[in-house]
Structure 1
């Protein structure tokens, strides 16, 4: 009988540790943009065929949508948001989709998507807001590492949770995001059937990817800086893709307990550590860096992520 109270105490202790480790951590992201009004974007046709001409038309339509959202933000009095949108509407930026409502959603293209033979789709984690420089800089760094015939798509297709919030330790936002990611990857696969597609899933984004994984037309799913996925094993993702996992030596996410606890409002935590042998992912060296360093130019994880996107084995640790 004494073991049951001890079990309950252990459970409460682990629950407290999970919440503490998950929300009482340094955050590197900028503040989320205000949810100011924005006009509904014009309906766009299917992505296929992804020719240079059709993509240029799509980019132009989204540039117009960005400028309209900028004007609305300026009229509303949110100068910071208007400045962000003006930068996004610049002539060197290319968006497959944009919707400024509800905080904003976008898919930015870095590289020549029409001619790409290898395509990486970045799925971000907590505190990634519309116009995030860190998110875009990571996409640019990865595309430069990959070089010609490769494109990187920065997919901000969901309302990311704030790191210091209950949403960051529960799967609700991931459940909301997964259908949009699944639809997008299906459309991308139809538009680029000969290209090698890889999902790169950072932090809470790995929970999103896990929910969307079954049946996706991708060669690889990469979980990095992951708190867990909500699945017990890579096999539970029900994908034919190779599942990879990596974590930087200084990443604070390593201290998050890998639990999944039922609560009256749902679940807390994301279960098995993707780097553990029982999860069954292939492990890649993610170097000595921290939670925001995976796509830093010249870094070990950036080079290994590029090798995975190319269909090569990453370098040994």
Structure 2
């Protein structure tokens, strides 16, 4: 009974802290965008593989066996599907998405774009198939196609820190919470995002890209935790994490190395790591008992300062991405 009471109190405290830190009222219920790409019905009607039922490896084989002229025909007739189908060669996806977007994001490599809801997008710096290393940055709350700057700043900082030798995907590929409301305290949006993230890594493997290192910020670490067992990844790095919905590294069910960072000034440290009645995300990944490798972050500042130039956290992130630490 005493343990139950402590849990209840901690849950109430979590709500209070979140409300006081970022404004409980600022959160609003979001509907997760899931399912096949826009235009899938016309694609299927043309006798093409069902995007939801066909694995990325089978999509890759389908395109590998296709004549270039036929590939380009599909790119012209079904750009919104070709541009968002994991397993399609990246260069085809970039061209298809450029066609869909018109002049928006001109000159950028857009790996995926979904206009539904608040909008989702994935931007790539570097060559996914020729790079020796690949990294994916998974953001937390408030990131979408109309608010990308915090995510692209992190991705750009990581690419610079690796001297451009690591291809980096800025992945705003799921519906994130808005503010710090109930969505941010529950796992609903993370569960939907986990499926999309898993398919992304399956698609990278299908086109011959290296297994990526995933860098998961704040609520993005909840997405990574729920996806962990199915991810084709070499590293999972979480920072500013409210929890991964797992009791420890073993419970994640992954063979990837798991790393965790939290700086002393990060407000996330004031949110109790509890899970009760669907609220909260469980244990702190930086606790020794969780079993993650600790990333030094004492010189980072606040919840968003882990990629600041010159910080130990950014240097370590770059070394992880490049396989320079054991």
TM-score (norm 1): 0.79
**SS of 2:313's equivalent?**
helix
> What is residue 268 of structure 1 aligned with on the other side?
279
What SS does the corresponding residue of 1:24 show, helix, strand or coil? helix
SS at match of 1:235: helix
SS of equivalent to 1:101? coil
Task: Work out the CA distance in 2 between the residues paired with 1:275 and 1:229.
Answer: 11
- For 1:18, the equivalent position in structure 2 comes to 14
CA deviation map 1:174-224 (0-9, x unaligned):
11111111111111122135x241111110001101111114221111111
Instruction: Return the match for 1:135 from 146, 151, 156.
Output: 151
What is residue 270 of structure 2 aligned with on the other side? 255
SS in 2 for 1:137: helix
1:279-306 deviations in Å (ceiling 9; x for gaps): 1111110233111111223322111111
User: RMSD across aligned C-alpha pairs, in angstroms?
Assistant: 2.6
Selected match of 1:155 from 171, 191, 194: 171
8 Å Cα contact 2:204-2:211 kept in structure 1 = no
| Count, aligned residues | 275
In structure 2, the residue matched to 1:306 is 318
Q: Distance in 2 between matches of 1:182 and 1:23?
A: 31
Partner of 2:192: 176
1:43 aligns with 2:58: no
Distance 1:23 1:126, change over 3 A: farther
Change (3 A) 1:10 1:101: same
Please say which of residues 155-164 and 39-48 is displaced more in the overlay.
39-48
**Residues of 2 paired with 1:168 and 1:228: CA distance?**
11
Output the CA distance in 1 between the equivalents of 2:233 and 2:267: 29
Deviates more, 1:167-176 or 1:146-155: 146-155
Deviations 1:248-279 (A, max 9, x none): 121100111011102xxxx1111111011221
- Tell me which of 185, 203, 207 is aligned to 1:191: 207
Runs of 4+ with deviation above 4 angstroms:
6-9, 45-50
Q: Distance in 1 between matches of 2:188 and 2:230?
A: 21
- CA 1:90–1:23: 2 relative to 1, 3 Å: farther
Give deviations 1:63-110, integer Å, cap 9, x for gaps.
22223xxxxxxxxxxxxxxxxxx6x5222x111111111111111101
Give, in whole Å, the separation in 1 of the partners of 2:163 and 2:208.
18
Q: Distance in 2 between matches of 1:149 and 1:136?
A: 17
Task: Give the 3-state SS of the residue equivalent to 2:81 in structure 1.
Answer: coil
Distance 1:49 1:160, change over 3 A: closer
Determine the C-alpha separation between the residues in 2 that align with 1:9 and 1:234.
27
Stretches of structure 2 lacking an aligned partner (at least 5 in a row): 32-37, 40-78
- What is the CA–CA distance in structure 1 between the aligned matches of 2:19 and 2:208, rounded to whole Å? 39
2:96 to 41, 58, 61: 61
Structure 1: runs of 5+ lacking an equivalent: 68-85
